[in-house]
Structure 1
Amino acid sequence: MTTESPAVVRITVDDTELTVPAHRTVAAALMLEGARIGWRTTRRAGEQRGVFCGIGICYDCVATVDGRPGLRTCLVEVSDGMVVSTEARDA
């Protein structure tokens, strides 16, 4: 007997509920939303930034996920009910 996984999951990002494809990283889910290509900002110029390397080497995509701050969103897979807080909200 096999159990099929859902095609989509619901996550909450900065108090906004999103329905996103399952088996994607949080970074991919944020980029799919379109308006969140950059969810953090540079220190000096305040320019948007989000995913830089996409493989967990840099820390440009960090966010708080389920209460755990500083997680690299390009390495964290979305799960149903996940709560994400970006720097845009934390600032």
Structure 2
Amino acid sequence: MSALNEEFLYQVFAIVEEIPQGFVATYGQIARLSGHDKNARLVGKALSLSEYFGKYPCHRVVNSQGRCAPGWLEQRTLLLQEGITFKDNGCVDLKKHQWKI
């Protein structure tokens, strides 16, 4: 897959919608669940467009180390409000909070 298409976007949004409160998923995890294993970056791009397609809990998606999206200061606050804990390095504690499917 070389570009975003509407089917991929809605696939990503449908998966993100399933992430339970108090848990996070990684971009790579969502890429795998969508059947596009090597497209974690496209997942990030899709999530950056989500506001044009509806309201999705995109704040529940972090990178493979548990880091929040750069430049999105509200993400950490939203996660903290859901009971997500962070390690001393500022990353989400994935061992505790990663969505297990």
With the shorter chain as reference, the TM-score category is: under 0.3
Q: What's the TM-score, normalizing by structure 1?
A: 0.28
Q: What's the TM-score, normalizing by structure 2?
A: 0.26
Give the structure with the higher percent strand: 1
